[in-house]
Amino acid sequence: MSSENEGNEGTAVPAAPAVPSVPPVPAAAPEGTPASANASRDEAQEPAAAAAEQPGHSPQPEQAAAPLPGYVPAAYPAEAPAGATVGTTAGAQQPGATWPPPPPALPSYGGGAGGGPVWGAQVAEPPRKRSGGLVAAVLVAALVAGGVGGGIGYWAAERNDDTSGSTTVAAAEAPRDLKREPGTVASVAGKALPSVVTIEAKAGGAGTGESSETEGGTGTGFVYDKEGHILTNNHVVASAADGGTLSATFSNGKKYDAEVVGRAEGYDVAVLKLKNAPSGLTPLALGNSEQVAVGDSTIAIGAPFGLSNTVTTGIISAKNRPVASGDGSSGKNSYMSALQTDASINPGNSGGPLLDSRGAVIGINSAIQSAGSGGLGQTQAGSIGLGFAIPINQAKNVAEQLIKTGKPVYPVIGATVDMAGKESGAKIATQGAGGTEAVTPDGPAAKAGFKAGDVITKFNGKPIESGPTLISEIWNHKPGDKVTLTFQRDGKEKTADVVLGERKGDS
């Protein structure tokens, strides 16, 4: 962010007459008006006063612009106190005279010569030098005094009475308690931050001063239950999975060692357990990602580039976005039918919660589309407003599996799909891994009548654009779920129902 401060230098003040003159009478400043505000108004009026003092010009009060409230311009004749006369009637001017008119050095009554200048004649004014800073300081001081004591004095003199008054200048009181309305970003973030942790992962054998150069070494997680389980991304903790060390630091600065309970590479989900977990942990409430709508507000919390407890906001910009968090060709890629958000997500946000406006978790921040990466995944490039989160409904199912068994369970159709195909739809490959059959004998797809070369175009009515899209949809379900697949064979469209099978662990 940037801020701009604009100021105007004070304008030069016209040279004052060589001898004292009757000063313009300042009106009392409105009660509660800061002196600095009055100073600004006076400075703004000075150019007008200078114009009025040109030789041979007599300003007419009735034609002058209306002054600001509480301010009498220097060029405007002020009413003198009752009974005060100095040679001529207060406020009267003669042609060619300047205001305020200089009084004679020695009074001349009845036409007698007083040795001084004739009243109303122009008097040569010796040049006087004043710095702008000094003038400004004087103006401020005068306004402050005039706003309190001077205002009262003028009030009494103008009416020539014995009444007296008093005034009180008091600054407005600040609110005693600053309370934020429920549902504001500040309120939601304030409640969620104590349940969010920054995770540091070190590979086995890493020294004290060493750390992983990949984003997977640092990330975010959040409290899943009161027993001390932390939910995060697999790629955040993968570097420490084999003999490494893990730690979780809360927003209050307290740091705890942690261990891996289970990891799911395909889902990109992992569960940690705090060692010596403190009592009183507050799990974040879990929402329902199926009920999320495009346009819903989102709040992301994480540690982008190591900056812990960072909060960003946005909206759900799309749903069911098929995302492969790797390069799209490796067998270790993770696939998700992601929630897309424009909340700023950067390396280090991975594993952190994506909240709705109520503060409920609707997703786990996992991947970004970066202008510098050329694809979807985890790089050190920054956010361009395309972030992707694992829907919390899917992540919750995986977390429960990992807590119970330590291993993930994947729903499958029992067929190998071409993941690199460029044609529309998900094509069943000609053969499986290692030369095996593409359609597993007696598997779900085989029982439904699928063959190698069939192109699946719809999953429960949703269009399927590619192999990763099909996998993302399948992994949103559980083993045993019955789904309807639409496919093409020999140019003809067909439909078949498939009961999903299961695969345990990462292969």
Are 230 and 194 within one domain? Answer: yes
CATH number for the domain spanning 270: value is 2.40.10.10
Are 356 and 493 within one domain? Answer: no
CATH number for the domain spanning 491: value is 2.30.42.10
Residue 483 has pLDDT above 50, yes or no: yes
Residue 383 has pLDDT above 50, yes or no: yes
- Of the pLDDT bands very low, low, confident and very high (cuts 50, 70, 90), residue 75 is very low
pLDDT mean across residues, the chain: 73
Are 159 and 190 within one domain? Answer: no
Q: Is the Cβ–Cβ distance between 344 and 335 less than 8 Å?
A: no
* Residue 377: per-residue pLDDT: 47
- pLDDT tens, position by position, 3-30: 444 444 444 444 444 444 444 544 444 4
Of the candidate ranges 67-81, 162-176, 233-247, 464-478, the one whose mean pLDDT is the lowest:
67-81
Mean pLDDT, residues 272-301 taken together: 96
Residue 150 has pLDDT above 70, yes or no: no
Residue 235 has pLDDT above 60, yes or no: yes
Residue 100 has pLDDT above 90, yes or no: no
- Of the pLDDT bands very low, low, confident and very high (cuts 50, 70, 90), residue 401 is very high
More confident position, 418 or 13: 418
Of the candidate ranges 132-141, 350-359, 396-405, 426-435, the one whose mean pLDDT is the lowest:
132-141
- Of the pLDDT bands very low, low, confident and very high (cuts 50, 70, 90), residue 110 is very low
Closest CA to 415 of 366, 365, 362, 456: 456
Residue 59 has pLDDT above 70, yes or no: no
- Of the pLDDT bands very low, low, confident and very high (cuts 50, 70, 90), residue 205 is low
Catalytic positions are 235, 268, 350
Highest mean pLDDT, choosing among 16-20, 62-66, 404-408, 430-434: 404-408
Share above pLDDT 70 across residues of the chain, in percent, rounded to a whole number? 60
Has residue 176 been placed in a domain? no
Determine the residue type at 249.
Answer: T
Has residue 9 been placed in a domain? no
Has residue 5 been placed in a domain? no
Residue 435 has pLDDT above 90, yes or no: no
Q: Both tokens of residue 55?
A: 């030789």
Q: Which residues contact 70 (CB under 8 A, 6 or more apart)?
A: 27, 28, 29, 30, 33, 38
Q: Which one of 119, 136, 168 terminates a domain?
A: 168
Task: Tell me the whole-structure pTM to 2 decimals.
Answer: 0.62
Q: What stretch of H or E contains 355?
A: strand 353-355
Residue 203 has pLDDT above 90, yes or no: no
- Specify whether the backbone of 442 is left (phi greater than 0), alpha (psi in -120 to 50) or beta: left
Residue 2 has pLDDT above 90, yes or no: no
* Residue 290: per-residue pLDDT: 94
Are 382 and 427 within one domain? Answer: no
Are 47 and 151 within one domain? Answer: yes
Residue 497 has pLDDT above 90, yes or no: yes
More confident position, 75 or 297: 297
C-alpha to C-alpha distance for 45 and 59, rounded to whole angstroms:
15
Q: Is the Cβ–Cβ distance between 408 and 267 less than 8 Å?
A: yes
Closest CA to 299 of 400, 190, 203: 190
- 368 forms beta bridges with 377, 387
Q: Both tokens of residue 186?
A: 């500040």
| First CA to last CA distance, the chain | 47
Are 298 and 422 within one domain? Answer: no
Q: Which one of 393, 420, 452 terminates a domain?
A: 393
C-alpha to C-alpha distance for 362 and 393, rounded to whole angstroms:
8
Are 492 and 363 within one domain? Answer: no
More confident position, 243 or 168: 243
* Residue 174: per-residue pLDDT: 66
The DSSP symbol for 371 reads: T
* Residue 136: per-residue pLDDT: 35
Number of domains, the chain: 4
Are 209 and 341 within one domain? Answer: no
Mean pLDDT, residues 332-351 taken together: 90
Residue 79 has pLDDT above 70, yes or no: no
Mean pLDDT, residues 338-353 taken together: 94
Mean pLDDT, residues 181-205 taken together: 91
Are 149 and 213 within one domain? Answer: no
* Residue 481: per-residue pLDDT: 96
Has residue 403 been placed in a domain? no
Are 480 and 368 within one domain? Answer: no
Has residue 251 been placed in a domain? yes
More confident position, 23 or 287: 287
* Residue 324: per-residue pLDDT: 83
Has residue 401 been placed in a domain? no
What is the b/e burial string over 481-492, where b = at least 16 CB atoms within 10 angstroms of the residue's CB?
Answer: eebebbbbeeee
C-alpha to C-alpha distance for 347 and 379, rounded to whole angstroms:
7
Residue 197 has pLDDT above 50, yes or no: yes
Has residue 262 been placed in a domain? yes
Q: Which one of 248, 274, 300 terminates a domain?
A: 274
* Residue 175: per-residue pLDDT: 66
- pLDDT tens, position by position, 37-53: 444 444 444 444 444 44
Are 161 and 191 within one domain? Answer: no
Determine the residue type at 65.
Answer: A
Give yes or no for a cis peptide into 100 (omega within 30° of 0).
yes
Q: Is the Cβ–Cβ distance between 49 and 77 less than 8 Å?
A: no
Domain, as residue range, for 339: 291-393
Are 153 and 25 within one domain? Answer: yes
Has residue 111 been placed in a domain? no
Burial class (CB in 10 A: 0-12, 13-18, 19+), 360: middle
